Amino acid sequence: MTDTASRPPRRRTADRRLPGDLSKRELIDRIVRVDHAGEFGAQRIYAGQLAVLGHKPCGKTIRHMKEQEEKHLAAFERLIVERRARPTLLHPIWNVAGFALGAGTALMGEKAAMACTIAVEEVIDDHYRRQYEALGDDEAELKQTIEEFRAEEAEHAHIGREHGGEETVGYPVMRAAIAAGSRLAIWLSERV
C-alpha cells in the first residue's frame, strides 16, 4: 500500500502549460492587442472604400459597416487601457495598408470592394470564434464583446455576398490573397 499523503498532489492536465503556452495574462494581452489592430484596420479598409465609392449608392452600406467597425474599435481602445495591453507596433502600417486595400479594391468596382469585405470578414469571423473558445468562463464580458462583434462581422460578409462580391472577376484568387494577408496581419499583430 502506498502512502498518498506523502506524494505531491497531481495537477490536472488543464493546469499544465507547455513551453510556449501563453499565461492567462499573455493571452488576454494578445487578444486585446490583435483585436484592437484588426478593428483599426477594418475601419481603415472601409474609409478607403468610401473615398472611392462614397458617392455611389453602395456608399450608405459601406458607411453602415464602417460605423460598426468604429464602435468595435472604440471598445478595444477602452480595453487596451483597462487591461493595460500593449498595442501593436505595426499600427502605422495597418493605417496605410488598410486604406490602400479598401481604396484599391474599390477602384476595381463595387463588387471587388465587396469581395474584399467577404474575404476579410470571413477570416475575422473564424478568428473571433477561436478567441471565444480559448477564453475561460471568468472572462464572460470579453467573450460577450467578441461574440457580439463576431455577429456583426458575419453580417458584413453576408452584405458583401448580397452585393455581388462573389461575382467579381477572379474572385477565388482575390479572396485567397486577401484572406492570406488578413491571417498574416493577425499573426503579426498578435506578436509585434
Residues 102, 42: Cα–Cα separation, whole Å: 9
**pLDDT recorded at residue 6:** 47
Q: Is there a contact between 144 and 79 (Cβ–Cβ < 8 Å)?
A: no
For the chain, the domain total comes to 1
- What's the CA gap between 170 and 81, in Å, rounded? 42
pLDDT for position 15: 55
Q: Tell me whether residue 5 is in a domain.
A: no
Query: In this structure, what CATH number is given to the domain that contains residue 120?
Result: 1.20.1260
Which residue range forms the structural domain that includes residue 167?
24-191
In a domain, 176, yes or no: yes
Q: Is 13 a member of any domain?
A: no
Q: Residue ranges of the chain with pLDDT lower than 70?
A: 1-17
| Cβ atoms of residues 182 and 124 within 8 Å | yes
Specify if 10 maps to a domain: no
Sign of CA dihedral 22, 28, 131, 181: negative
pLDDT of residue 47: 97
pLDDT tens sequence across 79-102: 999 999 999 999 999 999 999 999
